[in-house]
């Protein structure tokens, strides 16, 4: 379809009388189409601008403000009103410095932000901002310069977000980390002092202990024939106590030494370590009729010397506490728990009441009378220290007169409790 522009001209004769009409036509189809296209484009641009403004206004978590080149507010979304308290009518045309702390405006902070944004095109900052009611909030701010087609500065867009809660949380985390570091330093100092004390006391005790043990032996060996039976019994008790004290000193030294040893991790054959520990147990273990069950154990990345000491202590305990069993059974095995191997040593001995399990790994803590089962109360504390130095955990499950099982895992500690993990292993 063609669009025509028509023009009529009145014709006249030589005397000036009308004698006809001259019509001229011109095809303006292209012009009309161009005008229609332009109107459509303008309408679409207007609709796009409206949609964009509606979208900006719908943003609730960010304050989005447009400024002219002088820093006067030209647009104000609902998120800004929610965050800062001013309505659009109150702030439009006002200097954006109303939203800053007065001292920041006076020292040129806002002017510097706009200058940097104009020079760099974009700048980011964090700082205090003020609401209509005078309350403050910590804001994360992004300022972007707007330029015209010719490159001239026509204004800015500022996007603010309230991050007060995040800042407070980060500050609290930093303070807690600092407190933790200080507590760890204090704990390290206490541990070093305790180890030094134990080491010194143990060495200082050896000299008088040797004298007591030595003279008591001389009295018994050379003068017991001239002594009353009761006096000989007293000497025997002195010698027994001296032997126990010597063992206690040795255990204290070992405990202090473990705290200072540097771990030397390597791939170790755990089954081999267990068999070596069994072979080196006291004569009692070799002479008694004990049924040993040793399963194939996985290789572990550990300090082999210390891991052998773990098994030596746990197996010695098992031998000791199965002494009254006619058919003693001691089992060593491993199960997968929480994606890592968990080793265990199980016996059918005396066991203990689980309500006292929290005392099990304490230094000098004993759950049985010395008269029933000898010991120093340091062996399990030593075992726990070794396991924890490997970043692991150790726990026990027991029933009085029905045996005990010690579980330990090297590596990251499990989130589940020892009792829960023992149940998981049983199910496996």
**Distance between CA atoms of 71 and 73, rounded to whole angstroms?**
6
Tell me what the mean pLDDT of segment 340-364 comes to.
80
Tell me if domain 59-162 and domain 171-260 are identical in fold: no
Q: Out of 16-20, 249-253, 320-324, which region has the weakest mean confidence (pLDDT)?
A: 16-20
- pLDDT of res. 427: 33
Model pTM score: 0.46
Q: Which fold has domain 171-260?
A: Helix Hairpins (1.10.287)
Between CA 383 and CA 187 the distance in angstroms is 20
Position 374 scores a pLDDT of: 58
Mean pLDDT of 82-89: 78
pLDDT of residue 280: 83
Is 235 a residue whose pLDDT tops 50?
A: yes
Beta-carbon contacts of 254 under 8 Å, excluding residues fewer than 6 positions away, are 309, 378, 382
The residues spanned by each domain of the chain are: 4-44, 59-162, 171-260, 263-428
> 346-383 b/e with 16+ CB inside 10 Å = b?
bbbbbbbeeeebeebbebeebbeeeeebebbbbbbbbb
Q: Which pLDDT score is estimated for 379?
A: 76
pLDDT band at residue 361 under the 50/70/90 scheme: confident
pLDDT tens sequence across 263-305: 788 888 889 999 988 888 877 777 788 888 999 888 888 888 8
CATH fold for domain 59-162 = Beta-Lactamase (3.30.450)
Mean pLDDT across 147-165:
87
pLDDT at residue 345 in the model = 92
In this structure, CATH architecture of domain 263-428: 2-Layer Sandwich (3.30)
* Average per-residue pLDDT for the chain: 77
């Amino acid at each position: 379809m063609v669009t025509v522009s028509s023009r009529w001209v009145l014709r006249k004769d030589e005397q000036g009388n009308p004698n006809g009409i001259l019509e001229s036509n011109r095809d303006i189809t292209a012009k009309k189409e161009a005008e229609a296209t332009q109107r459509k484009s303008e309408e679409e641009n207007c609709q796009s601008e409206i949609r964009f403004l509606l979208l900006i206004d719908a943003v609730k978590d960010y304050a989005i403000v447009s400024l002219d080149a002088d820093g006067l507010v030209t647009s104000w979304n609902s998120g800004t009103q929610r965050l800062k308290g001013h309505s659009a009518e109150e702030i439009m045309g006002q200097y954006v410095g109303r939203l800053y702390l007065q001292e920041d405006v006076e020292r040129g902070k806002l002017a510097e932000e706009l200058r940097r944004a104009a020079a760099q095109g974009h700048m980011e900052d964090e700082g205090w901002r003020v609401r209509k009611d005078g309350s403050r909030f910590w804001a994360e701010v992004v300022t972007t310069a707007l330029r015209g087609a010719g490159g001239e500065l026509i204004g800015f867009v500022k996007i603010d977000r309230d991050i007060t809660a995040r800042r407070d949380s980060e500050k609290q985390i930093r303070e807690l980390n600092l407190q933790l570091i200080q507590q760890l330093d204090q704990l390290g100092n206490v541990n070093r002092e305790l180890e030094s004390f134990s080491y010194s006391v143990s060495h200082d005790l050896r000299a008088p202990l040797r004298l007591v043990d030595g003279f008591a032996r001389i009295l018994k060996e050379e003068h017991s024939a001239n002594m009353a039976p009761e006096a000989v019994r007293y000497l025997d008790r002195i010698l027994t106590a001296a032997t126990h004290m010597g063992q206690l000193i040795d255990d204290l030294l070992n405990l202090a030494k473990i705290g200072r040893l540097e771990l030397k991790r390597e791939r170790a054959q755990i089954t081999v370590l267990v068999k070596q520990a069994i072979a080196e147990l006291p004569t009692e273990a070799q002479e008694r009729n004990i049924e040993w069950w040793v399963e194939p154990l996985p290789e572990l990345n550990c300090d082999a010397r210390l891991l052998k000491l773990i098994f030596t202590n746990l197996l010695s305990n098992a031998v000791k506490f199965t002494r009254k069993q006619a058919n003693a059974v001691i089992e060593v095995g491993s199960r997968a728990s929480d994606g890592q191997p968990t080793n265990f040593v199980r016996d059918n001995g005396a066991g203990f009441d689980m309500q006292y399990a929290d005392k099990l790994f304490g230094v000098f803590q004993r759950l049985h009378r010395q008269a029933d089962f000898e010991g120093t109360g340091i062996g399990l504390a030593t075992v726990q220290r070794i396991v924890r130095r490997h970043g692991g955990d150790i726990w026990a499950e027991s029933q009085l007169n029905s045996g005990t099982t010690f579980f330990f895992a090297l590596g990251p500690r499990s989130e589940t409790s020892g009792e829960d993990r023992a149940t998981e292993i049983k199910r496996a």
